[in-house]
Amino acid sequence: MTLGVQLGVPHPADPRTSAHAGAAEDSAPAAPEGALLEIDDLTVSYGSGASAVVAVNAVSARVARGERIAVVGESGSGKTTLALAIAGFLDPAVTVSGSVRFDGRDLGRAGGGRRPRLPPRTPGVSMMFQDAMTSLDPVWSVGSQLADVLRTNTGCSRREARVAAGDWVTRVGLRDTARVLAARPYELSGGMRQRVMLALALAGRPRLVIADEPTSALDASTARAAMDLLTELTMELGTAVIMVSHDIHLCAEYSDRTLVMYRGDLVGDGPSDRLDRPDAHPYVRGLLRCVPTLGDVEADLLPTLEQFVGSAAPA
């Protein structure tokens, strides 16, 4: 896991309110001056030549400081590849073009044999992966993993790291702190492991957290509790969030702005509380219609984009 620290981050006003206030009149709001993350014409391709697959196609987006962004789309839409490109976890063989700037710093451009990526443990960025069981180290105890993150990011002593690890276990709502710190990940339930993942992601006080399908391995009630906790702690720390998920309604509830992807293209970018506006992209409206409700037991199957707009390519 790549984790970083940025101490002394000021606690802004509620980013949910400020983001909506500035974007309510624009379906694709521009980032404020000094955006935390700036992505310009980012393209990611797997393979080469005629067999190359373009997973992310010329995507441009902005994330403001403290803003909560959701990236949604069906499987294969490119949302996870976009997240990995931002975090710097793409394989060196992948072809990347475009630029990524984080906190005003250019992370590199593809071309000339170079590709944009974050080096290991870049200050200010952390990532939560989909499956906590496979992401956590099965050999190290929870306390050891938390202490290692704290010592790496803050330079504190072993004793200070042990104390801070216990504080973070309590902070994410886990009881019996001593038992949790001594436990290996496989000795904890799925919900407990996800809370440990959250503690690991936030212990370094990052400026940006990327959460890739943070609730897919959890039941409905546990998923909501996990999202409430993620929202509460990131707002407290002033941390921006990019949440990658296929659950468009969950994302809309817990984000300021939603990016919708289809086959690598960004087909929607707007306030999360206005996803169903009349001028929304046909694919966005199709995604919303696919979610079953108690009032509509037979949910629509998602048509392809071509069925929505004919043979026209995504905008």
Range of the domain at 67: 15-25+35-245
Query: Among 280, 272, 275, 210, which Cα is nearest to 19's?
Result: 272
- Looking at the structure of the chain, the number of domains it has is 1
Q: Is residue 238 part of a domain?
A: yes
Q: What amino acid occupies position 255?
A: S
Q: Is residue 288 part of a domain?
A: no
Note the pTM of the prediction, 2 decimals: 0.77
pLDDT at 146 over 90: yes
Q: Is residue 310 part of a domain?
A: no
CB 116 within 8 A of CB 132: no
pLDDT range class, residue 29, cuts 50, 70, 90: very low
The token pair at 295 is: 């009032």
Q: Is residue 78 part of a domain?
A: yes
Q: Is residue 91 part of a domain?
A: yes
CB 129 within 8 A of CB 1: yes
Q: Is residue 117 part of a domain?
A: yes
Q: Is residue 45 part of a domain?
A: yes
Give the model confidence (pLDDT) of 30-61 as tens digits: 444 568 999 999 999 998 888 888 999 999 99
Q: Supply the CATH number for residue 127's domain.
A: 3.40.50.300
Give the model confidence (pLDDT) of 60-109 as tens digits: 999 999 999 999 988 889 999 999 888 878 877 788 889 888 888 887 64
Gyration radius (Cα) of the chain, Å: 20
pLDDT range class, residue 124, cuts 50, 70, 90: confident
Q: Is residue 149 part of a domain?
A: yes
**Phi first, then psi: what are they for 178, rounded to 5°?**
-60, -40
Residues sharing a CB contact under 8 Å with residue 106, sequence separation 6 or more, in sequence order:
99, 100
Q: What is the pLDDT at residue 181?
A: 94
